Copies of this chain bind each other. A is one copy, B any other.
Amino acid sequence: MEVVKNKQVVLKWFVVGAPTEKDMEVREGTAQLKAPEGSGGLVVKNLYLSCDPYMRGRMREDYSSYIPPFQPGNAIEGFGVAKVLDSDNPNFSVGDYVAGFTGWEEYTLITRTESLRKVKKNDIPLSFHVGLLGMPGFTAYAGFYEVCAPKKGDAVFVSAASGAVGQLVGQLAKLHGCYVVGSAGSKQKVQLLKDKLGFDEAFNYKEETDLTTTLQRYFPDGIDIYFDNVGGAMLDAALLNMKVHGRVAVCGMVSQHSYTDSEGIHNTFALVRKRIRMEGFLQSDYLHLFPKFVETVSNHYREGKIIYLEDIAEGLENAPSAFVGLFSGKNVGKQVVCVSKE
């Protein structure tokens, strides 16, 4: 049985507060390249790994979440794109490319194969299967169409708009005939939103002193839809700027990083005055729409109607800093780690 070296990114302990690189360790382990008989599993070579904000939630010791915590000492688990090296499962063959839950390491034995779907190596970059065509893209799709109830001409605001989810929300909204404004945290991102991603307007929230008046400026008649990726002060400002019967889709990964939002939301009275519907959602509740999503978004991409910005860190050893960077907005576009191109 062939045993090889296997570089791994391991969570060292449960994390309190903002995650740092010190909470993770890159270590040299070993891997067997054969799937045990009867296991129904696969041995895969990991190609692309996804850095997602929700993973912060799995770094705390809390069994009440919708997904169990990571186990300190083990390789971190996350979405990835991988190539099958050995298979004990009739649904997968050697040489298949798969996307789904895998480990932050070079080689992974995947025994829980339910999350895996086969993907093709074609004109769509493989890495897109953890971004545009993966969980973040599907979050944008399900959130926008199923939660926001969009209508042509609606005024749409997207926060963290150049991120993995936000950039697709904005582009889908434009294709739907909406007026779309995005917020981001740097001049460069604002330029990308306007020049590359087709947003009608964009602003750098770090340069604004009063978010309520900022939003008034971009939405003099109010906001129909706020796709909330950040919570906190931006959500509070948006509530004051919603139109009557406005909708707020709370994707709000950032709000999940700590247990309580110490700043708090203070404008909930606007919910009544303006009859606002504010709804939290998870893409996993809409998986029946996944095939339609892949088809629709792939077609848009092939027709040049949407683009997708990625920020690719090269090599597993850079995975901890890439992940930590999410929380200070270091990434420009979807943060991916390339473990190996093939």
Contact = CB atoms under 8 A, between A and B. Distances in A.
Contacts of A89: none
Interface of A: 65-66, 231, 235, 244, 250-253, 255-256, 259-282, 285
Contacts of A252: 268-269, 271-272
A160 to B, nearest CB: 14
A281 B252 CA distance: 23
Nearest to A242: B280
Nearest to A271: B280
Contact of A264 (B250, B256, B266, B275): B266
Contact of A268 (B261, B269, B285): B261
A276 B280 contact: yes
A143 to B, nearest CB: 11
Given A265-B265, A279-B277, A279-B278, A272 B260 contact: no
A61 to B, nearest CB: 16
Contacts of A244: 66
A268 B228 CA distance: 12
B256 A272 contact: yes
Q: Which 4 A-B pairs have the closest CB atoms?
A: A264-B264, A271-B280, A272-B280, A255-B269
A314 to B, nearest CB: 32
B235 A268 contact: yes
Nearest to A274: B280
Contact of A256 (B261, B273, B285): B273
A255 B255 CA distance: 22
B285 A275 contact: yes
A65 B276 CA distance: 14
Nearest to A255: B269
Contact of A266 (B251, B262, B272): B262
Nearest to A285: B275
Contacts of A264: 263-266
Contact of A273 (B65, B270, B272): B65
Nearest to A244: B66
Most chain B CB atoms below 10 A, which of A244, A251, A266: A266
A275 B282 contact: yes
Given A275-B280, A275-B285, A276-B280, A268 B231 contact: yes
Contacts of A260: 266-267, 269
A264 B278 CA distance: 16
Contact of A261 (B262, B263, B269, B276): B269
B277 A269 contact: no
Contacts of A272: 250-253, 255-256, 280-282
A255 B264 CA distance: 14
Most chain B CB atoms below 10 A, which of A66, A231, A268, A282: A268
7 contacts: A66-B244, A252-B271, A260-B266, A274-B280, A275-B281, A275-B285, A276-B280
A287 to B, nearest CB: 13
Given A250-B272, A271-B279, 20 more contacts: A65-B273, A235-B268, A252-B269, A252-B272, A256-B269, A256-B272, A259-B269, A260-B266, A261-B266, A262-B266, A264-B264, A265-B266, A265-B268, A270-B280, A273-B280, A274-B280, A275-B280, A275-B282, A275-B285, A277-B280
Contacts of A281: 272, 275
